[in-house]
Amino acid sequence: MKWTLINRKSLFSGFFKVDQCRVRHDLFNGGEIEIQRELFHRGDAVAVLLYDPARDRVVMVEQFRIGALDDEQGPWLLEIVAGIVEEGESPKDVARRECREEAGLDVHAFETIHTFYSSPGGCSEKIFLLCGLVNSDHAEGIHGLADEGEDIKVSVFEYHEVMDLLGADQISSAIPIIALQWLQINRERLRIESFVM
């Protein structure tokens, strides 16, 4: 299958960017089609599920999210640590920085969960999703960078508590849902490995 970018025009360039793209691509049944689409660029991001396997706890963060402005439960969402990849940074560099800034925690070890596009129908953002193994004993408080307008509350949940929240639709952001479903599959292995270390 082949495709050609015919034209790309910048429509907006601020904190985020929007391009208008005209593309010609092959069709599955033969022939080709020409389409015009807007492409939203927000940069790639890293998200980290903070898990304490020795105590079977999950560290979550809660913050105001403009995208949930019209949500009936309000725009404060329970999520996991995340941040934008800056030029020259590796996903693990971003993960270490964001875990410190948003949760005040140092991570003992990282495990890659998955890499995926958040919404490829119109957004170029790629998410690097990691699990960070931590000691949750001192995870608490309000964190974030004031100059970035961050006001992030850190909470620690027993594994069963966070799964109850997930089952009750109290976690409504896709990235933590994916991460917690991965944890359901990998929890026992992580706990066994933590006791072997």
Catalytic positions, written as ranges: 148
- Distance (Å, rounded) from C-alpha 43 to C-alpha 126? 8
Give residue 122's region: left, alpha or beta (phi > 0; psi -120 to 50): alpha
Neighbours of 95 (CB within 10 A): 25
- Distance (Å, rounded) from C-alpha 149 to C-alpha 79? 17
| Six-digit token string for 195 | 């006791």
Q: What is the separation, in whole angstroms, between the first and last Cα of the chain?
A: 48
